[in-house]
Homo-oligomer: A and B are copies of this chain.
Amino acid sequence: MTAVTRSPGPTTSVDVAEAVRAVRASSRRRQLLDAAVTVMGRTGFHQMSMQALADEAQVSVGLFYKYFGSKEDILLAAIVDILEAFRDQLQPAMDLAGDDPVLQLMAGFRRYASIVDENRDAVVLTYRESRTLDAAGRDRIKELEVETSAPMRSVITAGMADGLMNEVDADLVVFDLMMLAHGWALKHWHFAPGYELDSYVAAQLRFALPTLLVPDKLDEYLTQI
């Protein structure tokens, strides 16, 4: 399962051999990281032995130590990976929604939730294991989370400036939206029987939009959910 959708990056291959090696190395890294997320999702970080991890990835234990400095490094890499996906994919998805701040916000939330859905294990991981990391790792995570929240926050600020949205605490609203999206992973045991991702997103938008929109605008958007 290679859930994290990553941007390919420009390959200005000066040296072919080196490029090939780099690609192979990078795909190796992905393979290892994916295996790690899978196993951690199944058993948790601490219960995961390096041997079990190696078995899952179908490589030797030692190989992990060529790509990561330590077991904890693997955890950090896995968490940073998913958080970067959030950060990098939110703005583009919102841009596609046109100029309307409300529609942009809705698109942002929808994309956010779908990334959560594609990486449920990894999202749970960010909650479960961030305290496992050292201070530097934790700071990196918090930083990424704040960066991720930026596009949705600015669109709310813009909406308020335009008079489209009520005066709210934009920062709080954004973190609430992110938490509700995380809920799809965190409380999946509870929601999965009754919801699909789409219906969950729709329900949460119906929950959250009323605080943002004046009554007469609300209906207009609710029908578009």
* Residues of A participating in the B interface, judged by any CB pair closer than 8 Å: 43-44, 46-47, 124, 127-129, 131-132, 142, 145-146, 168-169, 171-173, 175-176, 179-180, 183, 186-187, 189-191, 194, 203-204, 206-211, 215
Contacts and interface: CB of A to CB of B under 8 A. Distances in A.
This chain: copies in complex: 4
Q: Which 5 A-B pairs have the closest CB atoms?
A: A210-B210, A46-B46, A210-B211, A44-B131, A215-B215
Given A176-B180, A180-B179, A207 B127 contact: no
Contacts of A204: 172, 176
Contacts of A189: 142
Most chain-B Cβ atoms within 10 A of its Cβ — which of A124, A132, A171, A207? A207
B142 A131 contact: no
A207 B172 contact: yes
A47 B132 contact: yes
B47 A207 contact: no
A168 B208 CA distance: 12
Nearest to A46: B46
Given A208-B211, A210-B210, 7 more contacts: A142-B190, A168-B207, A172-B207, A176-B207, A206-B211, A207-B208, A215-B215
A132 B45 CA distance: 10
B187 A179 contact: yes
25 contacts: A43-B131, A44-B131, A46-B46, A47-B132, A127-B128, A127-B186, A142-B189, A142-B190, A145-B190, A168-B206, A168-B207, A169-B203, A171-B194, A172-B203, A172-B207, A173-B207, A175-B183, A175-B187, A175-B190, A176-B183, A176-B207, A179-B179, A206-B211, A210-B210, A210-B211
A33 B78 CA distance: 33
Nearest to A146: B190
